[in-house]
Amino acid sequence: MAKEKIPNIEKICCNCERSVRIEGSDMCVCSKKGIVGCGKTCSAFKADLLKYVPSRPRIPRLEE
């Protein structure tokens, strides 16, 4: 059984397992830093694969 490729997850607070996003805003509550913006990052980042939202696959255009 081959290992599946782990996606490159952007190192921002929205994707960290130590943070929880606040509904209705672009802020997160971090267990290390407190209330921070979702675009911030720190050295305590740990990727949470359950928060990762993959991009949609491309649909190939068929030429006639």
Structure tokens at 62: 């068929």
Domain contains 36: yes
pLDDT band of 62, cuts 50, 70, 90: confident
Q: How many domains does the chain have?
A: 1
pTM of the model: 0.64
Name the residue with tokens 């960290």. 16
Q: What is the pLDDT of residue 2?
A: 59
Calculate mean pLDDT across residues 19-38.
91
Domain contains 24: yes
Domain contains 57: no
Domain contains 46: no
Domain contains 4: no
Domain contains 1: no
User: Residue 14 belongs to what domain range?
Assistant: 9-40
Domain contains 30: yes
Tell me which of 35 and 58 has the higher pLDDT: 35
pLDDT band of 3, cuts 50, 70, 90: low
Structure tokens at 39: 């675009």
Task: Indicate the average pLDDT of the chain.
Answer: 84
